[in-house]
Amino acid sequence: MLRALRQNGPAVSLQANWLSPGERGLDDLQVEKENDHSLLAFLHLSERAAATRFAVYHDVLAIDPETRAVFGEILKDEAFHMNYTHKQLKRIEPRRYATRLWLARMSRMWKAYLRLSVAVAGVFGAVFLLVQYFVLLPVFAFLAKRAARSEPEGWTAADARPHSMRSQYR
Ligand SMILES: [Fe+2]
């Protein structure tokens, strides 16, 4: 399947993994801290996202019918998982399941915002450090060299006046 992809299409090497949520970092799911309804809402949204992605994979793989068929089978599974988790959430929270889903969506949006903020902060940090290194550091290096030229070379005699034993400033 991969061989067929390589032969029929251009190699795309862009991987935007930091954009996609997964069970790591902010999105690491700690099952013991969740309750049944929040877990089911989380699972439903995850299964829904997976089904959406596999539908896209299925749609774009016209050049590789074999892989397309595999993604079609996985899509059926994901659709079943999505419907099952929704049904179970409705069963245990018949009146508040919509609120649970809304809260889970807000949580995902908040995490997406945090991921984006971290990425933007990383870019700003890199730019700031590059500017410091290539713009500010040469100025300080120039000033330090100029100041070094006015300093006497070698050892200099210590101050001959007596020093106080109570203060470092005489
Ligand atoms: Fe699934």
Rounded to the nearest angstrom, the distance between the alpha carbon of 64 and the centre of ligand 1 is 23
pLDDT digits (tens, 9 = 90+) for 36-50: 999 999 999 999 999
Whole-number pLDDT of residue 36: 92
**Ligand 1 center from residue 138 Cα (angstroms):** 56
Give the residue from 19, 15, 41 showing the smallest Cα distance to 29.
Answer: 41
Q: Model pTM?
A: 0.64
State the pLDDT at residue 90.
96
CA–centroid distance, residue 63 to ligand 1 (Å): 25
Look at residues 106, 95, 93, 96 and name the one whose alpha carbon lies nearest to residue 42: 106
Q: According to the model, what pLDDT value does residue 23 have?
A: 56
Tens of pLDDT, residues 95-115: 999 999 999 999 989 988 998
Distance 144 CA to ligand 1 centre (A): 62
Compute the distance between CA of residue 91 and CA of residue 69 in angstroms, rounded to an integer: 33
50 C-alpha to center of ligand 1: Å?
7
Contact by Cβ (8 Å): 8, 64: yes
Measured in angstroms, how far is the CA atom of residue 124 from the centroid of ligand 1? 37
Calculate the alpha carbon distances from 160 to 38, 40, 157 in Å: 77, 81, 8
Residues of the chain with pLDDT under 70: 1-27, 160-162, 169-170
User: CB of 22 within 8 A of CB of 46?
Assistant: no
Q: How far is the CA of 151 from the centre of ligand 1 (A)?
A: 72
